[in-house]
A = this chain, B = another copy of it.
Amino acid sequence: MANRRTNPDFLNGVPELLILQLLEQRPMYGYELVQAIVRSTGERLEFGEGCIYPLLHRLESEGTLTARRQQVGGRERVVYRVTRKGKGKLAEAAARWRHVAAAVTMVLQGGIHEQRQPGIA
């Protein structure tokens, strides 16, 4: 969970971010979510079930998601929904992602060396 680290958790917290974002758009069950990630990233990203399911369990136990079991044609589905608390987490997480992505992209653009920002010390 990265309790106060020097860097935000976004150099590997991408799956969690995507889960929150996609589930906020629409409640889904795990298997569905795995495929939704593939779809919505245009086949660029693909996280296996072995990555997603444990994450869903953790997010639920944190109170970020709620789970509801469903029976559909003899098959069971566990549908997840983002809680109010989860929406807050998503907002923070998305903001941090943009912050980090902007930083990296900035460096990649390269032209802008050593910019000074007057606000800090």
Cα-based distance from A47 to B45 in the complex (angstroms): 25
The B-contacting residues of A in range 97-120, CB under 8 angstroms, are: 97-108, 110, 113-115, 117, 120
Q: Does A41 contact B (CB under 8 A)?
A: yes
Chain A contact residue count (CB 8 A cutoff): 40
Contact B110 A105 (CB under 8 A): no
A25 touches B101 (CB 8 A): no
Contacts of A107 in B (CB 8 A): 18, 21-22, 40-41
Q: A75 contacts the other chain (Cβ, under 8 Å)?
A: no
- Known contacts A12-B11, A113-B40; A101 and B105 CB within 8 A of each other: yes
The complex places the Cα of A11 from the Cα of B104 at a distance, in Å, of 12
